[in-house]
Structure 1
Amino acid sequence: MITFFDLEGPLCPIDHAADVIALIGKKLGKEQDFYKLFQMISLYDDELFLVDKKKDYWPGDTLKLIAPIVVSFADEELLFKISQEAEPTPGAIELFQYLHQKEIPTYIISTSYAQHAHTITKKLNHPIENVRCTTLDFSLKPENTDALTPLFEDIFPRYLKDGMKEVKKDLDKFFFSDIPKSNFGAVFNSTVVCGGGRKRESVIEILEEHKLKASDSITIGDSITDIQMLEYVREKGGTGVSFNGNEYSLRPSMIAYSGKSIFPLTELISAFPNTSEFVSNLSKEEMSRKEEFFDVSLDINEEEFQRILLLQKKYRKYLRVKAAELT
């Protein structure tokens, strides 16, 4: 048996990159809330994947798009500071103690920058070598940041006023024509985000290293960046779990867990590989009393899907607060 975890959501409630961008806005003295700048780029990221179906583009590549901003106006110390101030998801430390005691191989596969992924992993007393994440090279920071001015001074204010439709074509030009040709080209092109299909590839590589099959695994995710690894594990006979997720993690999952703590996943893990049978036999009254809701999310009708999704979103908002709005 082997387990795979997304980081942000299942193991730490914050959206680290969003918090970094928000602090950069304050540092620059911008009137607009730069958290909304991140939301704009995140929404754009969704459109590139879901609507445009852009070739070789995966959800979570937001962290590639913001790389020029981060290297220009932040540093590694700031990235570490935000992460050090963040607490793990309730029950995550105890869950990892359980996994270590049972000697279950466990890997964290995250879109997050390494500064955040490694910091939270250390808080879980877990080995850094069992983390796959995104590397950002601060040595590629250019001296001149003028290439970012159109984003800050023109595109973002128009987005706040008129929405994504008004700026979509400008964002296409900015990110995929102007920035690659600018002095930010090196950092932009070198940032390879561990999201979407790259998470799936990490799962496949790790399974091969351990000489295990996907059917030997439980994979936990909560967002659009987890679709491909959840789908892969489910289709190959493993258990994909949506933890306080959204529609993007719920649809490809086999089990949904909604609650205030991630620790009850120990019960699901102990029941593996009979996870569906375990969930089907649980008392609805007992789950309601504890506010620990397990549901089978495979092959369900739309009404049942929406019922589970409401639960997922309720506890997602409870734990992730502002970050719950991001996909």
Structure 2
Amino acid sequence: SQNVACTSFPLDKISQTLCKDELRLLEAMEKNILNTRSIDDDWIKKNLDPFYLKKLPKTNLGVLLEQVRPVGGQRKVEALELFAQAQDEPLSNWVVVGDSITDFKMLQAVDNAGGLAIAFNANEYALPYSTMGLASTHLDDLLPVLEAWGKGKRPAVERLVKGKEKAGGSGDRGHFQWLAGIEDVAAHLEIHARIRTVVREEAAKLS
């Protein structure tokens, strides 16, 4: 069995509620996104803010979205605490991975407890609250970290990550940082931002 905490999004109910005009509105925005070569924060603000804040609320979909309770921020912490209680394992024994503002409270809680909070291709909202960082196009670069955690918990991971950080990454892979105790993470944000962009561009091709 699996323990899963996620945002409930009833697609069947939504599809039955939308009319043709509302579907055309969604399809037009989808086409706009797919036909845009480079999407940055300015583009998102200019195009998606009016879409989500003005157009969608006037549709049946907007009404449904108001009922969605995203599992993020404090709710992620609460979900993690429920898992920890169910497994009878303190947060000091947990490894969590996050990348953005909805993860920082979870990352902070685990890091403060002595667990392992990993910032993976993270932004400025997640990196400062993490135990370590990894910027890479391959998630399996985390495997040695998890193996080290299994053998010797946080001290073993610290030795491994500091060694890899000293050696440096290669191209778009293996850029590690030990962040615990570091107040200024600005020097690490650049590589995370670059790899984050690379990964998002590759993901966009899949759609």
Which string of whole-angstrom CA distances, capped at 9 and with x for unpartnered residues, describes residues 85-135 of structure 1? xxxxxxxxxxxxxxxxxxxxxxxxxxxxxxxxxxxxxxxxxx6x3332222
**For residues 205 and 301 of structure 1, do their structure 2 counterparts lie closer, same or farther at Cα, with a shift above 3 Å needed?**
closer
- Mapping 1:97-246, distance limit 5 Å: 129-137=2-10, 138-140=12-14, 141-142=16-17, 144=19, 183-184=60-61, 187-246=64-123
In the aligned structure 1, how far is the partner of 2:97 from the partner of 2:132? Answer: 9
- Mapping 1:259-274, distance limit 5 Å: 259-272=136-149, 273=153, 274=155
SS at 1:294 equivalent: strand
Which of 194, 198, 204 is 1:318 aligned to? Answer: 198
Aligned-residue offset at 1:213: 0.8
**Amino acid of the structure 2 residue aligned with 1:284:** K
- Mapping 1:294-309, distance limit 5 Å: 294-302=176-184, 305-309=185-189
- 8 Å Cα contact 2:92/2:114 also seen in 1: yes
**Amino acid of the structure 1 residue aligned with 2:182:** I
Which of 274, 281, 284 is 2:166 aligned to? Answer: 284
Which of 92, 110, 130 is 1:253 aligned to? Answer: 130
Q: Work out which structure has the larger RCO, using CA pairs closer than 8 Å and 6 or more positions apart in sequence.
A: 1
- Mapping 1:46-125, distance limit 5 Å: none
In the aligned structure 2, how far is the partner of 1:207 from the partner of 1:293? Answer: 30
Aligned-residue offset at 1:288: 3.4
In the aligned structure 2, how far is the partner of 1:169 from the partner of 1:257? Answer: 34
Aligned-residue offset at 1:164: 5.1
**For residues 210 and 187 of structure 1, do their structure 2 counterparts lie closer, same or farther at Cα, with a shift above 3 Å needed?**
same
**For residues 278 and 150 of structure 1, do their structure 2 counterparts lie closer, same or farther at Cα, with a shift above 3 Å needed?**
closer
**Amino acid of the structure 1 residue aligned with 2:4:** V
Which string of whole-angstrom CA distances, capped at 9 and with x for unpartnered residues, describes residues 55-81 of structure 1? xxxxxxxxxxxxxxxxxxxxxxxxxxx
In the aligned structure 2, how far is the partner of 1:234 from the partner of 1:212? Answer: 15
Structure 1's unaligned 5+ residue stretches are: 1-126, 153-160
SS at 2:176 equivalent: strand
In the aligned structure 2, how far is the partner of 1:162 from the partner of 1:223? Answer: 19
Which string of whole-angstrom CA distances, capped at 9 and with x for unpartnered residues, describes residues 245-268 of structure 1? 111221211100122322121211
The list of structure 1 runs, each at least 4 consecutive aligned residues, that deviate by more than 4 angstroms after superposition, is: 143-152, 161-165, 167-175, 182-186
In the aligned structure 1, how far is the partner of 2:136 from the partner of 2:51? Answer: 40
TM-score (norm 2): 0.69
In the aligned structure 1, how far is the partner of 2:51 from the partner of 2:191? Answer: 37
Aligned-residue offset at 1:192: 2.0
**Amino acid of the structure 2 residue aligned with 1:257:** L
TM-score (norm 1): 0.46
Name the Cα RMSD after superposition: 3.7
